[in-house]
């Protein structure tokens, strides 16, 4: 098989531990399915600040640009929280998204059967919840002009939120296509009763919608969406929205599943290139103790196989292995009912590798 290049960015906190287990899974699928992967490690986030003086070193960007896909662990931690902006892990995250043209963030929020009691929602409300938030990732208020200026009322800070037609159109079309492959329902979320960018957003959605006649479209205002996610989570299929709203709503959606330690995400650009990472953070409090749950990162590998490489067989096998291990009752501390029976990060990785 053709050799696929994977840039591996372990990052900070529990990042290196969970990524190590995902790499075991990569190895095992090479043996079983005959695929060939070439991994190259690169520094990113806090560790890159410490070792290279910048969260996103040029070499790291080059490693990613030469690769077919990127596997990311997690970045950030209190150590860098009070740094100036250029020396913060988040700045690296925004930088890598922009530099790699990753304009779309897919955040599936599904309920794992064995974890449904972990949700704070009632089981009957959660029943059947399986949605995906498609978040625009390289535009809006995240990347608009930002500055301070002096006014008569004291210093003023300004952020600019801008979207052009092409930026909206590419993400909206992608969401329609994703909906066509799922339950064919799309909720476009905006604040068109207040924002000009939202009015443009809604115009574009309405213009392209007739090209996807099999998809049922609803427009939902962002405040209402925050409510409806709580009231009727199972009724959503695909939600598409701009960067800032997507940040908030995808976290709300993830949390309501109760499965946040198990969720993976994909950031995509044009073509098949993608960056894959768990939804959870770097959890510095449990880092280096073999306590982290590697499942979200392992499932990120499955997502990469499916979306970037088209290796559906291996993706299926990994997902089935995770399900088998969970069904057999194995749990890391975060998802164990009886913590004394919990297995460690490495043991969970080994169990999944053995089950593939």
Ligand X SMILES: CC(C)[C@H](C(=O)O)[C@@H](O)C(=O)O
- Least distance between ligand X and beta carbon 69 (Å): 18
- 164 makes contact with its own copies (CB under 8 A): yes
Judged by beta carbon, residue 90 or residue 350, the one nearer ligand X is 90
- What's the token pair of residue 9? 């960015």
- 130 makes contact with its own copies (CB under 8 A): no
Answer yes or no: are the C-beta atoms of 71 and 9 closer than 8 Å: yes
The C-alpha atoms of residue 20 and residue 4 are separated, in whole angstroms, by 18
- 155 makes contact with its own copies (CB under 8 A): yes
Residue 341 annotated as lining a ligand binding site:
no
Residue 105 annotated as lining a ligand binding site:
no
- 84 makes contact with its own copies (CB under 8 A): no
**What is the enclosing helix (H) or strand (E) of 253?**
helix 243-257
- 81 makes contact with ligand X (CB under 6 A): no
- 82 makes contact with its own copies (CB under 8 A): no
Active site includes 247? Answer: yes
Task: Determine which one of 4, 190, 191, 334 is catalytic.
Answer: 191
The residues facing 278 across adjacent strands are 264
Binding-site member from 10, 63, 93, 266 for ligand X (CB under 6 A): 93
- Least distance between its own copies and beta carbon 309 (Å): 30
Binding-site member from 2, 122, 210, 213 for its own copies (CB under 8 A): 122
Crossing angle for the helix pair 345-355 and 295-304, to the nearest 10 degrees: 40
Which of ligand X, its own copies, none lies near 171, with the C-beta cut-off 5 to 8 A by kind? none
- 230 makes contact with its own copies (CB under 8 A): yes
List all residues 6 or more positions away from 68 whose beta carbon is below 8 Å from its beta carbon. Answer: 4, 5, 6, 272, 273, 308, 309
- Least distance between ligand X and beta carbon 260 (Å): 12
Task: Determine which one of 247, 276, 311, 334 is catalytic.
Answer: 247
Long-range CB contact pairs, 283-287, < 8 A, 24+: 283/13, 283/14, 283/74, 284/12, 284/13, 284/14, 284/77, 284/78, 284/79, 286/14, 287/12, 287/13, 287/14, 287/17, 287/77
Crossing angle for the helix pair 345-355 and 312-327, to the nearest 10 degrees: 120
Active site includes 251? Answer: yes
- 340 makes contact with its own copies (CB under 8 A): no
Residue pointed to by tokens 């296509």:
177
- Least distance between ligand X and beta carbon 76 (Å): 7
Residue 85 annotated as lining a ligand binding site:
yes
Answer yes or no: are the C-beta atoms of 233 and 126 closer than 8 Å: yes
Task: For residue 242, give the 3-state DSSP assignment.
Answer: coil
The C-alpha atoms of residue 209 and residue 218 are separated, in whole angstroms, by 10
- 193 makes contact with ligand X (CB under 6 A): yes
What is the total count of residues that contact its own copies (CB under 8 A)? Answer: 57
SS3 for 199-228 is HHHHHHHHHHHHHCCCCEEEEEEHHHHHHH
Task: Determine which one of 4, 12, 35, 142 is catalytic.
Answer: 142
Residue from 221, 228, 295, 307 nearest 263 by CA: 295
- 268 makes contact with its own copies (CB under 8 A): no
- Least distance between its own copies and beta carbon 24 (Å): 30
What is the total count of residues that contact ligand X (CB under 6 A)? Answer: 6
- 110 makes contact with its own copies (CB under 8 A): no
Q: Which stretch binds its own copies (CB under 8 A): 41-49, 50-58, 151-159, 342-350?
A: 151-159
Catalytic center residues: 142, 191, 223, 247, 251
Residues forming the site for ligand X (CB under 6 A): 90, 93, 193-194, 223, 247
Residues forming the site for its own copies (CB under 8 A): 88, 90, 94, 120-122, 125, 141-142, 144, 146-148, 151, 153-167, 191, 193-197, 199-201, 222-224, 226-227, 230-231, 244-245, 247-252, 254-256, 260
């Amino acid at each position: 098989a053709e050799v696929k290049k994977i840039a591996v960015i372990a990052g900070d906190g529990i990042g290196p531990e969970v990524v190590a287990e995902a790499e075991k899974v990569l190895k095992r699928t090479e043996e079983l399915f005959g695929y060939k992967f070439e991994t190259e490690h690169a520094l990113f986030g806090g560790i890159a600040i410490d070792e290279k003086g910048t969260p996103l070193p040029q070499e790291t960007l080059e490693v990613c640009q030469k690769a077919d896909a990127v596997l990311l662990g997690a970045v950030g931690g209190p150590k860098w929280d009070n740094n100036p902006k250029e020396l913060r892990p988040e700045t690296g995250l925004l930088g890598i998204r922009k530099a790699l043209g990753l304009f779309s963030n897919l955040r599936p929020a599904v309920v794992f059967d064995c974890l449904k009691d972990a949700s704070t929602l009632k089981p009957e409300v959660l029943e059947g919840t399986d949605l995906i938030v498609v978040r625009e990732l390289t535009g809006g208020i995240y990347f608009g002009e930002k500055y301070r200026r002096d006014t008569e009322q004291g210093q003023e800070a300004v952020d600019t939120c801008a979207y052009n037609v092409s930026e909206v159109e590419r993400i909206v079309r992608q969401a329609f296509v994703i909906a066509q492959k799922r339950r064919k329902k799309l909720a476009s979320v905006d604040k068109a009763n207040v924002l000009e960018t939202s009015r443009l957003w809604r115009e574009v959605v309405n213009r392209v919608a007739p090209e996807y006649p099999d998809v049922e479209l609803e427009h939902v205002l962002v405040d209402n969406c925050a409510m409806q996610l709580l009231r009727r989570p199972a009724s959503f299929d695909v939600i598409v929205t701009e960067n800032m709203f997507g940040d908030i709503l995808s976290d709300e959606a993830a949390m309501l599943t109760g499965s946040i330690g198990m969720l993976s995400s994909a950031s995509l650009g044009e073509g098949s290139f993608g960056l894959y990472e768990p939804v959870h953070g770097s959890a510095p409090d449990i880092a280096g103790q073999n306590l982290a749950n590697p499942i979200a990162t392992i499932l990120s590998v499955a997502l990469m196989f499916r979306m970037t490489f088209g290796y559906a067989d291996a993706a299926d096998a990994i997902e089935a292995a995770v399900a088998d291990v969970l069904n057999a009752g194995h749990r890391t501390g975060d998802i164990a009912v009886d913590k004394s029976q919990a297995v460690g990060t490495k043991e969970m990785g080994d169990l999944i590798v053995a089950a593939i």
